[in-house]
Structures are given as C-alpha cells and as structure tokens.
Amino acid sequence: MSDGFDAKGPLGPVMERRRLLGLALLFAAGAPLPAAAQQPAAGRGRAPLPLVVIDPGHGGRDPGAIGRAGTQEKRIALAVALNLKARLEQARRCRVLLTRSSDVFVPLGRRIEIARQRQATLFLSLHADSAPGARGASVYTLSETASDSLAEALARRENRADAAGGLRLPSVSPEVQRILLSLMQHETRTGSERLARLTVAALGQQVPLLPNTHRRARFVVLTAPDVPAALVEMGFLSHPQDEAALNRAAHRARLATALAEAVHGYLGMRAAGLGAAEG
Ligand SMILES: [Zn+2]
C-alpha cells in the first residue's frame, strides 16, 4: 500500500519525511535548528550509520519488578541491552546508544530526549515486568487506548517510574503545531508498528511468546513523536519459569539474538526504501 510518496534516496521515504516535518515544527516555533540539520547531510565522507537507541528499563532507585527468587528487572534489562549492543556493534550496520549503561536512575522523559536529540532511527525499550499469570515475551507500541487490560496495567506500572515525561512542544500556534505533529506521528507510528512486527517474528524463533504478542497501550517512554519505538517485555519476573529463564545467560543471549535480528530487519527495510510500502 503506497501513500503516494516516492523517494529514491538511500534513507527511504519515511525517514526523510519525518525529519522534514520535525524541522518544520522547529522552524514554525522560531527555534534554532539542531546542529545536525545545519550541516550538509553527507559532508565529505559517507553519511553516518543509523543510530539505534536501546533503553534498559528502570535502574538505580527503581528496581522495576522483582521475581520470587529476588531477580531485579533493572539488572535483566541492562544485561540484555549490553549483549544486544555488542551484537549490533559487531555487525557494524548501525551505531548504538544506551539510555543507561550502569545501574542509575534515568527519568522516562530523559530517555525520550536522548533518542530525539540524537535523531535516533529507532528506540527499543527492554523490560521484564510482573503481571499475574502472564508468561512469555511480548511487544508493545504506543496507543492512546490500550488493546487489553494487561497492556493497560503494564503501561500504568511503567509510567509510574516517574511522573513527568511526555513531550514539551515549542510555543507555536496550536493549529500549526497540531497539523505538523499529527503528520509526523503518523509516519512514526507506521515505523513503530513495523518494528514491533519484526520483533515479534524474531522473538518467536528464539523464546516462548505471550499470546496476542503485539499489544498496544500508552507507555510514556514510547511517546516521542519522531522516533519509531517499541517496548519489549522479554518475559515476566512474576512467573517462576520466566524468572529462571531470564537468569540464564544462554536465554538472554537468545533474546539479544532475536532483538538484533529485528533491528537489522528494520534497518534493511529502511535502506531498501520500503518505508511507505506498508502500513
Ligand atoms: Zn519494566
């Protein structure tokens, strides 16, 4: 399904248009353009590799969920994130940035800012929460209305990590802001849905999945209007078998393998300019 936008450039139509809309939004607000936009895109050398932001959930004073055996979600999330980063860097198809690389507290709003400021190509948040009866990996994308009560409960839980977050828009006419934002969000949502589909498919090859694996809810950490994003519950620490599995390095390696495959799949589609080919 094409939306009538043709682009032949290596960046693909979706990224190009989303960036353009982002700059228009800044311009409308009279804000200085970000440094990256003022420089020639390719410069003398090659364009930099796309930036992937990996977000290990929780950290520091916020341990996240705690399993019956005492496993802390923040530690599992960081362990998989570091493993995934190493795999992606070894493959040299993207640059990788973690929102935290040690046991520190990072507010949700800051995590979003990190991805937006660096104009990340995608944002992947890693978790292993607690939910009664639930078992297996699942993937979440942003939606104002939750797809089901589990997704809603998880979003409520995650959003408690800090009260702030969300988006501060520059002061421009509300009408202009609304239109630009809505266009940009549409592009971003398409990317997020694609990222989630690829992630579910890759995880399914490696680990048990929660039924209805792709769910939707209003996770604050996924609200950047210009960065495609998904949140992965790699399993549930409230389930003893999931907790045991998440404590095994081999299982975490399988998760990282699947996530790297999903990221590479996304980058591959983007490079091939298939951005507008599906909704
Ligand atoms: Zn979590």
Look at residue 273 in the predicted model and tell me its pLDDT: 76
CA of 74 to the centre of ligand 1 (A): 8
Mean pLDDT of the 104-112 span: 95
In a domain, residue 125? The reply is yes
Q: How far apart are CA 14 and CA 194, in angstroms?
A: 12
Higher pLDDT: 124 or 11? It is 124
In a domain, residue 1? The reply is no
User: CA-CA distances (angstroms) from residue 83 to 77, 133, 145, 250?
Assistant: 10, 28, 33, 11
CA of 266 to the centre of ligand 1 (A): 24
CA of 260 to the centre of ligand 1 (A): 20
Higher pLDDT: 190 or 33? It is 190
CATH number of the domain within which 251 lies: 3.40.630.40
Look at residue 145 in the predicted model and tell me its pLDDT: 84
| pLDDT over 50 at 165, yes or no | no
In a domain, residue 141? The reply is yes
Mean pLDDT of the 7-26 span: 58
In a domain, residue 168? The reply is yes
CA of 24 to the centre of ligand 1 (A): 34
Percentage, residues of the chain above pLDDT 70: 80
CA of 250 to the centre of ligand 1 (A): 21
CA of 10 to the centre of ligand 1 (A): 35
In a domain, residue 3? The reply is no
CA of 64 to the centre of ligand 1 (A): 5
In a domain, residue 242? The reply is yes
CA of 231 to the centre of ligand 1 (A): 9
CA of 195 to the centre of ligand 1 (A): 19
In a domain, residue 4? The reply is no
The model's pLDDT over 37-80, given as tens digits with 9 standing for 90+, comes to 444 444 456 789 999 999 999 999 999 999 999 999 999 999 99
Domain region containing 136: 13-31+49-271
Q: How far apart are CA 256 and CA 271, in angstroms?
A: 22
CA of 73 to the centre of ligand 1 (A): 7
User: Whose CA is closest to 261, among 193, 189, 205, 215?
Assistant: 205
CA of 183 to the centre of ligand 1 (A): 30
Look at residue 279 in the predicted model and tell me its pLDDT: 39
Look at residue 53 in the predicted model and tell me its pLDDT: 98
| pLDDT over 70 at 28, yes or no | no
Q: Which residues pair with 122 in a beta bridge?
A: 52
Look at residue 217 in the predicted model and tell me its pLDDT: 93
Mean pLDDT of the 181-210 span: 93
In a domain, residue 278? The reply is no
Q: Output the average pLDDT for the chain.
A: 85
Look at residue 171 in the predicted model and tell me its pLDDT: 58
Look at residue 9 in the predicted model and tell me its pLDDT: 41
CA of 188 to the centre of ligand 1 (A): 23
| pLDDT over 70 at 30, yes or no | no
Residue type, 112: I
CA of 117 to the centre of ligand 1 (A): 23
Number of domains in the chain: 1
* Lateral strand order in the sheet of 95-98: 95-98, 51-56, 122-127, 229-233, 137-142, 209-217
